[in-house]
C-alpha cells in the first residue's frame, strides 16, 4: 500500500461501517487506520471464518476482501456472501496481488463490485469505496445521538443525559463512549480502546467500562447496552 492522506477525499466515510478481511496483519491494520481517518467505522478480520462470524452478527456497508488467504479464499467468501439472502446485497471490493485478467474476471463473476491489485494507493481505494456506496445506496448515516434505554448520548457534544437530566462523564469516559458509539453493534478490541493512553494492559478501559455501566445500566452486573465480547473487547448495543 502506498500514498498518503489527501484533503479532497478526507472525511468521505461519514460513519459507514466497513469490514476489512486480510490475513496480512500489517496491511489490515494500515487499512483500518487510514480508513478510520477518512471517517469510516472499520472492523478487521484475519481470515474468512472470522469474517463469516462478524457478518452474521453485524450489518456492514461494504466488505474489503483479500483474495489470497490460507484456507477459504476471498473468492469463496464472496460466493458465500452472494448466496446468503441477508447478505446478498452487501457490496464487496476485492484486493489481491494477482492482477491477471482471468483472476479479475473470476472475482467479478463471483459477484464482487470492484477489484484492486496490490500494491495500491489508499486514496484510490477510498474513491472506489465511495463510488460503490453511491451506486448501492448504503445504510443511513450514523446518527448524532444514540439512545440507551432512558439515556441519550450526544456524540458531538459528548453529553450523556437520562430523561433530559445530565449525567456527569469524565473526559476519558466520554471519549470511550463515543468510540463505542461510532462502532455501535460491533465489537471493539480492548487494546484499540486503550490506544490513546499509556495503559498497555487495557486495565484502565476496564475501570472506565465499569463506571459507565453504573451510569447506563439498570443492572450493571448484567449489562444490556455496554456488553463484553469475550476474547475481543467491548460492544455498545444501543436501541
Q: Answer yes or no: is 7 within a domain.
A: no
Per the prediction, the chain carries an average pLDDT of: 84
Q: Answer yes or no: is 35 within a domain.
A: yes
Q: Answer yes or no: is 1 within a domain.
A: no
**More confident call, 139 vs 106:** 106
For residues 159 and 122, membership in a common domain is answered with no
For residues 114 and 206, membership in a common domain is answered with no
Q: Which of 119, 136, 153 is where one domain is finished? A: 136
Mean pLDDT of 112-139: 86
Number of H helices, E strands in the chain: 8, 12
Q: Answer yes or no: is 59 within a domain.
A: yes
For residues 214 and 153, membership in a common domain is answered with yes
pLDDT above 90 as % of the chain: 44
Indicate whether 239 pLDDT > 90: no
> According to the model, what pLDDT value does residue 139 have?
53
For residues 129 and 162, membership in a common domain is answered with no
Indicate whether 137 pLDDT > 50: yes
For residues 59 and 118, membership in a common domain is answered with yes
Q: pLDDT tens across 176-198, in order?
A: 998 888 888 888 888 788 765 55
The domain of 223 spans 145-236
Q: State the residue for C-alpha cell 445504510.
A: 139
Q: Answer yes or no: is 3 within a domain.
A: no
For residues 107 and 196, membership in a common domain is answered with no
Q: Which of 136, 158, 174 is where one domain is finished? A: 136
- Nearest in space to 214 (alpha carbons), one of 203, 226, 197: 226
**More confident call, 32 vs 13:** 32
For residues 130 and 36, membership in a common domain is answered with yes
How far the first Cα of the chain sits from its last, in Å, is: 38
> According to the model, what pLDDT value does residue 8 have?
32
Q: Answer yes or no: is 47 within a domain.
A: yes
Mean pLDDT of 11-26: 81
What are the φ/ψ torsions at residue 184 (nearest 5 degrees)? -50, 135
- Nearest in space to 69 (alpha carbons), one of 138, 22, 123: 22
CATH of the domain at 149: 1.10.10.10
Q: pLDDT tens across 42-77, in order?
A: 999 999 999 999 988 888 999 999 988 988 999 999
For residues 199 and 129, membership in a common domain is answered with no
What distance in Å separates the CA atoms of residue 119 and residue 108, rounded to the nearest whole number?
19
For residues 158 and 99, membership in a common domain is answered with no
> According to the model, what pLDDT value does residue 18 have?
94
Q: Answer yes or no: is 6 within a domain.
A: no
Q: Answer yes or no: is 188 within a domain.
A: yes
Indicate whether 92 pLDDT > 90: yes
Three-state secondary structure along 139-191? CCCCCCEEEECCEEEECCCCEEEECCEEECCCHHHHHHHHHHHHCCCCCEEHH
Q: pLDDT confidence of 217, banded at 50, 70, 90? A: very high
Q: Which of 106, 136, 166 is where one domain is finished? A: 136
What is the DSSP-derived secondary structure letter of residue 67?
S
What distance in Å separates the CA atoms of residue 181 and residue 19, rounded to the nearest whole number?
17
Q: What 3-state class would DSSP assign to 134?
A: helix
What is the DSSP-derived secondary structure letter of residue 206?
H
What is the DSSP-derived secondary structure letter of residue 8?
G
For residues 39 and 128, membership in a common domain is answered with yes
> According to the model, what pLDDT value does residue 200 have?
53
What are the φ/ψ torsions at residue 226 (nearest 5 degrees)? -105, 95
CATH of the domain at 120: 3.40.50.2300
- Nearest in space to 87 (alpha carbons), one of 46, 51, 47, 125: 51
Q: Is the pTM of this model over 0.75?
A: no
**More confident call, 138 vs 28:** 28
Is residue 168 within 8 A of residue 220, CB to CB? The reply is no
Picking from 72-81, 106-115, 138-147, which range would have the lowest pLDDT averaged per residue?
138-147
Mean pLDDT of 185-213: 78
> According to the model, what pLDDT value does residue 136 have?
78
> According to the model, what pLDDT value does residue 167 have?
93
What distance in Å separates the CA atoms of residue 45 and residue 53, rounded to the nearest whole number?
10
Count how many domains the chain has: 2
> According to the model, what pLDDT value does residue 202 have?
63
pLDDT above 70 as % of the chain: 87
> According to the model, what pLDDT value does residue 5 have?
37
For residues 208 and 152, membership in a common domain is answered with yes
For residues 172 and 106, membership in a common domain is answered with no
Amino acid at each position: 500500500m502506498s500514498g498518503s492522506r489527501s484533503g479532497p477525499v478526507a472525511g468521505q466515510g461519514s460513519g459507514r461501517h466497513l469490514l476489512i478481511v486480510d490475513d496480512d496483519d500489517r496491511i489490515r491494520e494500515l487499512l483500518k487506520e487510514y480508513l478510520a481517518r477518512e471517517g469510516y467505522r472499520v472492523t478487521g478480520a484475519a481470515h474468512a471464518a472470522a469474517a463469516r462470524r462478524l457478518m452474521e452478527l453485524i450489518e456492514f456497508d461494504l466488505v474489503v476482501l483479500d483474495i489470497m488467504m490460507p484456507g477459504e479464499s476471498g473468492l469463496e467468501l464472496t460466493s458465500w456472501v452472494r448466496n446468503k439472502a441477508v447478505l446478498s446485497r452487501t457490496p464487496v471490493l476485492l484486493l489481491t496481488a494477482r492482477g491477471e485478467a482471468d483472476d479479475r474476471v473470476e472475482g467479478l463473476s463471483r459477484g464482487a463490485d470492484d477489484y484492486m491489485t496490490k500494491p495500491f494507493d489508499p486514496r484510490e481505494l477510498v474513491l472506489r469505496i465511495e463510488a460503490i456506496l453511491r451506486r448501492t445506496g448504503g445504510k443511513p448515516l450514523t446518527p448524532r445521538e444514540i439512545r440507551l434505554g432512558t439515556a441519550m448520548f450526544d456524540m458531538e457534544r459528548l453529553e450523556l443525559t437520562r430523561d433530559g437530566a445530565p449525567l456527569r462523564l469524565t473526559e476519558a469516559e466520554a471519549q470511550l463512549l463515543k468510540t463505542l458509539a461510532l462502532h455501535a453493534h460491533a465489537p471493539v478490541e480492548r487494546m484499540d480502546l486503550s490506544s490513546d493512553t499509556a495503559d498497555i494492559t487495557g486495565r484502565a478501559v476496564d475501570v472506565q467500562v465499569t463506571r459507565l455501566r453504573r451510569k447506563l445500566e439498570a443492572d450493571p452486573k448484567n449489562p444490556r447496552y455496554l456488553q463484553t465480547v469475550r476474547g475481543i473487547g467491548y460492544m455498545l448495543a444501543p436501541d
